[in-house]
Amino acid sequence: MTALQRLFKFHGGVKPAYNKEASTGLPIAVAPTPTLLVIPLHQSIGGMPRPLVTAGERVLKGQRIGGADGNVSSAVHASTSGTVIAVEMRLMPHTSGLSALCVVIEPDGRDEWIQRQPFDFRSATPTQTRDYLRDAGVVGLGGAVFPTYLKLNPGKQGKLDTLVLNGAECEPFITCDDVLMRERAETILKGVAIMREMLRAGQVLIGIEDNKPEAIAAMEIAAQAANRAAGDSAIKVVSVPTRYPAGGAKQLIRVLTGIEVPHGKRSTDYGVQCFNVGTAHAIYEAIALGQPLISRIVTVAGNVGLARNYDALIGTPMRDLVALCGPLPDSDRVIMGGPMMGLLMPADSVPVVKATNCVLVGSKQLFPPPPPEMPCIRCGECAKACPAELQPFEMYWFSRAKIFGKAQEYNLFDCIECGCCAYVCPSHIPLVDYYRFAKSEIWARELEKEAADVARERYEFRLLREEREKQEKAAKLAAKTAAGREKAAAALAVVEKPATTPEEDAKKALIAAALERAKAQKELVHPGNVSDLTPEQQAEVAAIEARRAEIREMAKPHLRQDD
Amino acid sequence: MPRSAKWRSRTCGRTIEQNRDPLVNNSPYFLKPASVQSVMLRVLVALLPGIAAYVWFFGAAILLQIAMASIAALAAEALMLALRGKPLMLFLSDGSALVTAWLIALTFPSIAPWWLAVLGTLLAIIVAKHLYGGLGQNPFNPAMVAFALMIVAYPQLMSQWPAAGATDLAGQLHAIFGTRQIDAITMATPLDALRTALHTIDAKASVAGVLGSNPGIGSVGGKGWEWVAAGYLVGGLWLLQQRIITWHMPTAFLAALFAIAGVFSLIDSTQFAGPLFHIFTGGAMLGAFFIVTDPVSGATTPRGKLIFAAGVAVLTWIIRTFGAYPDGIAFAVLLMNIAAPLIDMYTQPPVFGHKDKRGDSP
Ligand code: SF4
Ligand code: SF4
């Protein structure tokens, strides 16, 4: 079956050492409940959930402790039963070392669940199902943590051609999807069945890199069973060539369907939507078992004695997982994610969150500091490696020179920050850092410009209002004389006002002006252009915003460093 | 400023010192083992077959020229790095100055006075490279700048080529250091002979006549020179296999040169030399694989590379055929260097998802 699927190539990509075998030798183990759970409220892209509990409160396993806020947001839950000992700022699993609001829970050891009820999504409306999944905290588990309910929408046509399931897992070291597919293929496919129904998807293509034969075999068996049960052959497991970043959503969609979804476009508009296998599993647990997302599979690998995958509660300190694997003495850092795109953690005490697919322990030997940066020799290696088919060295050049407009002309925002360019660069230029810096600067300027535009609009509105008031006064004057009646009507027509008395007009204008002022003020806080973006774009703005301060600081000394 | 944050890993029972220098530690955390140095060194290695053929047919003088140019290049590089306050060892060891030096030595006559290549190299490194900002910043190919300057300044000396078989080292040394008259061992290159004959001596001279009557001219591109060219070809193919250069430039260059020479020799074979002659003579093969392929001063997009290299080939042929200088590659390259940024701008490949109309309006 796998051989029948026609595959497409994506441009570029690299073949780093995969280092995956180390953590696939043993089955998934359940990580012990830690002595303290620190559960960040903000674990998905989008709005920060509101805390629903206060210190001192007892919570049950699966109880909602953070409620989704806004259009793009996702709930969070207590991972076990216990007592909330604090709702306070704690260090986040993010390179910046920023703190954010977390619910700190002291487990009581009883692991007592809330009442769990399967959700009958068949008799619910799609909106109800989506709301349910939002409140169950299901987000994309591939690392992007995009709220899943937003993607379970078939779009304009009301149906989807292809549902792509991403089991490619192309980042070195990470094997959480691999072992999940090996061990829980059946439940993944049950999740797929739910998604398929919600999206009215024609076919399902499960893409897995060909360096995971066990996972492919397991998924194949489960897919055949699912096809038999459904009486069709809609689900196909497709083995895709191993090449980083084959697991990037856009790359995988391209490889499996030949469709290229441009930056900033919804893939549903192209009749395709892509989910991680872990997400399918979480959907199954949420809908069929009534269990919100409170744990995930985490690969612990790198500079450790025994790499392994753990089923870890959200909120477990990373160091607890690391300790289970025996970190080697020369360990010097903890990275969340893989070596190509992972984030360096500010400390090993930060908690496992929904985005934590891997806790990678590093050392100088494993990840040696890069050789000194040299000037770009325009060799084009980066362009050959870029899966987004960009000209990385041009973007680098303009980012470094802070000619951001030009960098944008070279499609800076199509860069997926996969790191392929920096990986191959013979001059060892930290290219991705430059792009992060440039993107954050561009967003900052954009927001500033928006703010300035709003201020200008306010000013122009005031002029308009003054003008109108003048006209209204003239109209009033004119109204006093019977001969001026028609003239008054004309003046009123100019300002597009209904035929009301001039006094009312002035009042209304004042009210309108006040409203407009209030709106403008609000927009100063939330610049206007953000409001009519797609959820994906909003999410991107949010993510970029979050990184801004950090990146600015990081990039500054560097940009000063030479020349 | 690199920030340093120490943190104690309680469960591991030891302190892990974490270097929070943001640029050392941002993703990707590991890099492909590649470096400018290894790229440059492989370019030097790829020149070896051609150099070997050179020594075999034209004597060991070329080795001396390479050595002198190399020393001059390293000295100039060190001086400029010091003046510009750049890390000395890092840049000295990158190999780029050596590549420039070797290309200069190989494009200059091997029995020209020693100071010719040395002066050319100094100009290349100091003016064409460092005054423009150093490695990666030069808009013009430094070796070609050197060639162009020297051939304009010293046209006579730049035309003293060794005769094939005249490999007597003592004689060559005399020539290089100016200790004895050198006529006996020099001769015009085939290109030079052709140009001189067709343009100046005899209006009725023909390509076949000139090439046939000249004992120094071999079967294809000049006795011995065709073997040197073959050596460059071998090295160039190895560079392709090593993925240091892409196929675009050499193919476009050779194909365009072949095509234009072929068309004109078909039109009038008495006045225009044939395509094989053009490809195997002068600096064509060296140019195809080692000169037009200089990434810094050339075009970088795939289509841009094709246009750039084809442009160099056409200009080379025009200068060879109608110009005042024997070989036109240097001027052709410099002219195309000027156009390279523009070529790049107009040949940007479409990015992912923007290849068809559908990408813009779903
Ligand atoms: S790989 Fe590095 S040196 Fe080569 S063109 Fe790209 S940025 Fe420049
Ligand atoms: S990080 Fe951006 S520019 Fe670099 S290879 Fe990936 S997509 Fe291309």
Report the 3 state secondary structure along B112-125: CCHHHHHHHHHHHH
Output the CA A419–ligand 2 centroid distance in Å: 6
ipTM metric: 0.84
Between A536 and B31, the higher pLDDT residue? B31
Is there a contact between B90 and A374 (Cβ–Cβ < 8 Å)?
A: yes
Terminal-residue alpha carbon distance, chain A? 57
In A, minimum Cα distance to B96 occurs at A377
Residue A249, pLDDT > 50, answer yes
- Look at ligand 2, atom 8, and give the residue with the nearest C-alpha: A386
A270 touches chain B (CB under 8 A): yes
Nearest ligand atom owner, CA of A432: 2
Cβ-based contacts of B141 with chain A (< 8 Å): none
**Residue A334: is its pLDDT beyond 80?**
yes
CA of A420 to the centre of ligand 2 (A): 6
Expressed in percent and rounded to 5, the helix, strand and coil fractions of chain B are 65, 5, 30
Of the bound ligands, which one is closest to the alpha carbon of residue A390? 2
pLDDT category at A530 given cuts 50, 70, 90 is very low
Assess whether pLDDT exceeds 90 at residue A518: no
Distance CA B114, CA B112 (A): 6
What are the b/e assignments for B248-263, b being 16+ CB within 10 Å? Answer: bbbbbbbbbbbebbee
Cβ–ligand 2 distance for A392 under 6 Å, the answer yes
Mean pLDDT, all residues of chain A: 85
Q: Which of A319, A362, A379 sits opposite B39 (nearest CB)?
A: A379
Instruction: For residue A424, give the ligand nearest its CA.
Output: 1
DSSP string, B61-126: HHHHHHHHHHHHHHHHHHHHHHHHT--HHHHHTTSHHHHHHHHHHHHS-TTS-HHHHHHHHHIIII
Domains belonging to chain A, first-starting first, are 21-309 (3.40.50.11540), 310-363 (no CATH), 373-482 (1.10.1060)
pLDDT tens, residue by residue, A256-311? 999 999 988 888 889 999 999 999 999 999 999 999 999 999 999 999 999 999 99
Question: Residue B4: is its pLDDT beyond 60?
Answer: no
CA-nearest of B237, B233, B279, B280 to B254 is: B279
Work out the average pLDDT over B176-202: 65
Q: How far apart (Å, rounded) are the C-alpha atoms in residues A555 and A444?
A: 15
Instruction: Give pLDDT, residue A255.
Output: 94
Please give the helix or strand (H or E) that residue A539 lies within, else none: helix A535-561
Residues of B in contact with A349 (CB under 8 A): 7
pLDDT of residue A473: 79
Query: What single letter denotes the amino acid at residue B270?
Result: T
Residue A498: count of CB within 10 angstroms of its CB: 8
Put simply, the answer to whether A344 touches B136 (Cβ < 8 Å) is: no
Q: Please tell me the distance in Å from B176's CA to the nearest CA on chain A.
A: 34
Residues 1-30 of B with CB under 8 A from A: 1-2, 5, 7, 9-12, 14, 16-20, 22-30
Task: Look at ligand 1, atom 1, and give the residue with the nearest C-alpha.
Answer: A425
- Quick one: pLDDT at residue A525? 46
| pLDDT of the residue at B214 | 56
Least confidently predicted of A7-21, A88-102, A448-462, B15-29: B15-29
Chain B closest CA to A345's CA: distance in Å? Answer: 10
CA proximity to A551, closest of A412, A416, A441: A441
Indicate if the pLDDT at residue B164 is higher than 90.
no
CB B185, CB B111: distance < 8 Å? yes
pLDDT at residue number A514? 62
Q: Contacts of residue A261 in chain B, CB cutoff 8 Å?
A: 353
Tell me, using a 6 A CB cutoff, whether residue A358 lines ligand 2.
no
Average pLDDT over residues B34-52: 95
Question: In this complex, do A424 and B32 lie within 8 Å of one another by their Cβ atoms?
Answer: yes
The lowest-confidence range among A231-235, A278-282, A481-485, A510-514 is A481-485
Q: Are B121 and B69 in contact (CB under 8 A)?
A: yes
Q: Which pLDDT tens digit goes with each residue over B245-268?
A: 999 999 999 999 999 999 999 998
Answer yes or no: is the C-beta of A380 below 6 A from any ligand 1 atom.
Answer: yes
Note the pLDDT of residue A471.
Answer: 81
According to DSSP, the β-strands at A331-336 and A358-363 are antiparallel
Q: What is the pLDDT of residue B184?
A: 52
Say yes or no for a CB contact (<8 Å) between A332 and B16: yes
**Helix-helix angle B142-153:B329-346, to 10 degrees:** 140
Distance A435 CA to ligand 2 centre (A): 9
**Residue A378 burial class via C-beta count within 10 angstroms: exposed 0-12, middle 13-18, buried 19 and up:** buried
Q: In this predicted structure, what is the pLDDT of residue A560? A: 38
**Separation CA A259–CA A247 (nearest Å):** 15
Which structure tokens are listed for A562? 């030479």
* Chain B residues within an 8 Å CB radius of A333: 16, 18-19, 25
What percentage of chain B reaches a pLDDT higher than 70? 79
Q: Which residue of A has its CA nearest to B16?
A: A332
CB proximity under 8 Å: A 464-493 to B: none
The shortest CB-CB distance from B296 to any of A362, A367, A377 is to A377
Q: Which residues is A273 bridged to in the sheet?
A: A163
The first and second tokens of residue B166, run together, are 């005249």
Residue A62 binned pLDDT confidence (cut-offs 50, 70, 90): very high
- Give B-chain residues touching A424 at CB under 8 angstroms: 31-32, 34
| Ligand 1 closest atom vs CA A374 | 3
Cβ-contact A417, A396 below 8 angstroms: no
Residue with the bigger pLDDT between A418 and A450: it is: A418
Work out the average pLDDT over A435-453. Answer: 85
User: A417-426, A440-449, B232-241, B286-295: which range is least confident on average?
Assistant: A440-449
Cis peptide before A27, with omega less than 30 degrees from 0? no
- A331-336, strands of its sheet edge to edge: A29-30, A308-313, A295-302, A358-363, A331-336, A343-344
Contact A334, A365 (CB under 8 A): no
Average pLDDT score, chain B: 83
Question: Which residues in A lie closer than 8 A to residue B296 (C-beta atoms)?
Answer: 377-378
β-partners of residue A111 are none
Residue A44 has pLDDT above 50, yes or no: yes
Q: Give the length of chain A.
A: 563
Ligand nearest to the CA of B295: 1
B45-57 exposure pattern, b = at least 16 Cβ within 10 A, e = fewer: ebbebbbebbbeb
What does the pLDDT average to over A41-68?
92
Q: How many CB pairs under 8 A join A and B?
A: 190
Identify residue A492 by its one-letter amino acid code.
L
pLDDT of residue A5: 75
pLDDT at B163: 76
CB contact set of A532 (below 8 Å; sequence gap of 6+):
none
pLDDT range class, residue A312, cuts 50, 70, 90 = very high
Question: A452 and chain B: CB distance < 8 Å anywhere?
Answer: no
Q: Which residues in chain B have Cβ-Cβ distances shorter than 8 Å to A320?
A: 11
Chain segment A378-410, per-residue pLDDT in tens? 999 999 999 999 999 999 999 988 899 899 889
**Cβ atoms of residues A101 and A76 within 8 Å:** no
Choice among A128-132, A336-340, A368-372, A515-519 with the minimum mean pLDDT: A515-519
The pLDDT, as a whole number, for residue A455 is: 82
Lowest-confidence segment of A156-165, A265-274, A315-324, B215-224 by average pLDDT: B215-224
The highest-confidence range among A353-362, B9-18, B53-62, B278-287, by mean pLDDT, is: A353-362
Among A429, A432, A433, A435, say which to mutate for ligand 1: greatest number of ligand atoms within 8 Å of CB: A429
Taking 80 as the threshold, does the pLDDT of residue A187 lie above it? yes
SS3 A211: coil
Q: Is residue A424 lining ligand 2, measured as CB closer than 6 Å?
A: no
List b or e across B285-323, with b for residues whose CB sees 16 or more CB atoms inside 10 angstroms. Answer: bbbbbbbbbbbbbbbbbebbbbbbbbbbbbbbbebbbeb
Q: Whose CA is nearest to atom 3 of ligand 1?
A: A376
Q: Give me the pLDDT at residue A515, please.
A: 64
Compute the average pLDDT of residues B159-179. 78
Whether A50 contacts chain B with CB within 8 A: no
pTM for the model:
0.82
> Regarding predicted confidence, which is higher, A46 or B41?
B41
pLDDT for residue A72 is more than 50: yes
Asked if A26 is an interface residue toward chain B (Cβ–Cβ < 8 A), one would say no
**A379 CA from centroid of ligand 1 (Å):** 5
Ligand 2 and A417: CB distance under 6 A: yes
Task: Supply the residue whose CA is at minimum distance from atom 7 of ligand 2.
Answer: A415
For B181, other C-beta atoms within 10 Å of its C-beta total: 8
Nearest to B326 by CA among B157, B178, B204: B157
Task: Name the percent of chain B lying above pLDDT 90.
Answer: 56
Residue numbers in A near B244 (CB within 8 A): 379
CB contacts of B344 in chain A (<8 Å) are 394
Q: Which of A285-294, B25-34, B86-95, B206-215 has the lowest mean pLDDT?
A: B206-215
Q: Verify whether the Cβ–Cβ distance B32 to A16 is below 8 Å.
A: yes
Residue B178: pLDDT band (50, 70, 90) is confident
Give contacts of B 108-167 with A, CB under 8 A: 134-137
Mean pLDDT of A139-156: 87
Q: Is the pLDDT of residue B183 over 70?
A: no
Report whether residue A416 contacts ligand 2, using a CB cutoff of 6 Å: yes
